[in-house]
Amino acid sequence: MIQLSDHFNYRRLLRFTLPSIVMLVFTSIYGVVDGFFVSNFVGKTPFAALNFIMPYLMILGCVGFMFGTGGGALIAKTMGEGNREKANQIFSMLVLVSILCGILLAAFGLLTLRPIARALGAEGQLLEDSVSYGVIILIALPAYVLQYEFQCLFATAEKPKLGLAVTVAAGLTNMVLDALFVAVFSWGLEGAAAATALSQCIGGLLPLIYFSRPNTSLLRFTKTRFDGKALLKACTNGSSELMSNISMSIVGMLYNVQLLRYAGEDGIAAYGVLMYLNLVFQAVFLGYAVGTAPVISYHDGAQNHDELKGLLRKSLTLLLIFALTMFASAELLARPLSILFVGYDRHLLEITLRAFLIYSFSFLFSGFAIFGSSFFTALNDGLVSALISFLRTLVFQVLAVLIFPAVWELDGIWLSIVAAEIMAVAVTVLFLLGKRKKYHY
């Protein structure tokens, strides 16, 4: 079994991070299944509605990623310092806090869902479909928060393969129920939402059962008390990942507003197909970042500076290989994926193909900023991590998506993400160079 304290060569690094990568990719793929069934069995407007309201739902659920990444870094560092009992107390407290947050956010979401959808420009059937889908998803939001959180904490517990197994179980649940509820029972958009909500319950509740019982991982629920200092540190550590997810969702909503203006519902549907590919490909980078984070945190806590240097160098090499592979794959898969989702509408197909060919250049750059932000989170430097995420996912993208369409119209919307990723890589490089003496990597 690979341990956090081990020396990591390329093979061991890939073996340890692969379950996290596959776990997040699989999570993304079963989200794509919703879109496939809705687009092909329910219709274009419900498909647009699903993609229209999803960014808002993700804003409410991504607090789990903050607790998972920020808490995971703090827990791993605490274990690296030799205090395993305290690590378990922090772990238990963070899970309890995240459950409470999930309940409160679900209630808030149910109250604001319709006003938000209307404010973003939805009306008529698009508005009603957006609300119908969102209400069902929000009922399961506490489980969704836990699912996000445990996807990160399984790696910290030295059980990434178990995390993968839980994710696969949740994903298969969603796929099977999507086919049953949408294709067989013809329950429409509500059926797709129910399938997703039930799968999130699997992904969020099974880990609760595992960690509450005697187990062979590094973590287990134990008696705990509220530790404001640890909670603040975990939230600060994970603020970049929270900011990244919130920013991406805000930008997604802004994209939808711009797309309604320049291409109508067809633009939103095309963007939805792009986002499915983006979710899967970004999951590779996120999964690698999640998988390496506890290793980086552990060796930082243990002051193993040579190992930190090796981890950074090997990671940048692997990310370059991933980036080139994904760019080539996106260009090759553009037509078959577009036909799979929107082949029934010629005009929509043409828009989607054009978008694919431009958008795919972003995959050459996005992984480096994602890893850079995660790297500083793992070093418990939440401020730098948050700055990278804030600039990458909000500032650069908002500026680009507001300015570029004025010059290049619809093409400008697809180009904006490419420009934002290039600028984010430049900022990441500057921070890595500026902080190398402080952290000895």
Q: Flag whether pLDDT at 193 surpasses 80.
A: yes
CB environment 342-369: b (16+ within 10 A), e (fewer): bbeeeebbebbbbbbebbbbbbbbbbbb
The pLDDT of residue 6 is: 82
Q: Flag whether pLDDT at 8 surpasses 90.
A: no
The pLDDT of residue 93 is: 97
Please give the average per-residue pLDDT across 351-373, as a whole number.
Answer: 95
Tell me which residue of 151, 195, 156 sits closest to 21, measured CA to CA.
Answer: 151
Helices assigned H by DSSP within 42-83: 44-61, 63-80
Residue position matching structure tokens 């329950």 = 187
Q: Flag whether pLDDT at 56 surpasses 80.
A: yes
- The answer to whether the beta carbons of residues 310 and 392 sit under 8 Å apart is no
Please give the average per-residue pLDDT across 235-261, as a whole number.
Answer: 85
Please give the average per-residue pLDDT across 241-270, as a whole number.
Answer: 87
Please give the average per-residue pLDDT across 107-111, as a whole number.
Answer: 98
The pLDDT of residue 239 is: 81
CB environment 265-293: b (16+ within 10 A), e (fewer): bbbbbbbbbbbbbbbbbbbbbbbbbbbbb
Radius of gyration, alpha carbons of the chain: 21
Q: Which of 54-68, 119-133, 232-246, 289-303 has the lowest mean pLDDT?
A: 232-246
Tell me which residue of 195, 349, 325, 202 sits closest to 269, measured CA to CA.
Answer: 349
Please give the average per-residue pLDDT across 420-428, as a whole number.
Answer: 97
For the question of whether the overall pTM of this predicted structure is more than 0.85, the answer is: no
Rounded Cα gap, residues 203 and 123, in angstroms = 33
- Residue 294 carries which side chain, given as an amino acid letter? P
Please give the average per-residue pLDDT across 267-271, as a whole number.
Answer: 92
The pLDDT of residue 365 is: 97
Please give the average per-residue pLDDT across 104-126, as a whole number.
Answer: 95
Q: Torsions phi, psi of 43, nearest 5?
A: 140, 170
Over the chain, what is the mean pLDDT?
92
Rounded Cα gap, residues 219 and 240, in angstroms = 24
The pLDDT of residue 246 is: 85
Q: Flag whether pLDDT at 307 surpasses 80.
A: yes
The pLDDT of residue 277 is: 86
Through-space distance between the first and last CA atoms of the chain, rounded to whole angstroms? 26
Q: Which of 1-15, 103-117, 289-303, 344-358 has the lowest mean pLDDT?
A: 1-15
The pLDDT of residue 422 is: 97
- The answer to whether the beta carbons of residues 207 and 150 sit under 8 Å apart is yes
Identify the band that residue 435 occupies on the pLDDT scale cut at 50, 70 and 90. Answer: very high
Rounded Cα gap, residues 29 and 175, in angstroms = 9
Please give the average per-residue pLDDT across 357-379, as a whole number.
Answer: 95
Q: Flag whether pLDDT at 384 surpasses 80.
A: yes
Please give the average per-residue pLDDT across 11-15, as a whole number.
Answer: 91
Tell me which residue of 76, 98, 179, 184 sits closest to 144, measured CA to CA.
Answer: 98
Rounded Cα gap, residues 107 and 419, in angstroms = 37
Q: Which residue has the higher pLDDT, 104 or 24?
A: 104
The pLDDT of residue 390 is: 87
Identify the band that residue 382 occupies on the pLDDT scale cut at 50, 70 and 90. Answer: confident
Rounded Cα gap, residues 241 and 378, in angstroms = 11
Rounded Cα gap, residues 297 and 153, in angstroms = 13
Q: Flag whether pLDDT at 47 surpasses 80.
A: yes
The pLDDT of residue 402 is: 95
Q: Flag whether pLDDT at 173 surpasses 90.
A: yes
The pLDDT of residue 23 is: 80
Q: What is the DSSP letter of 391?
A: I
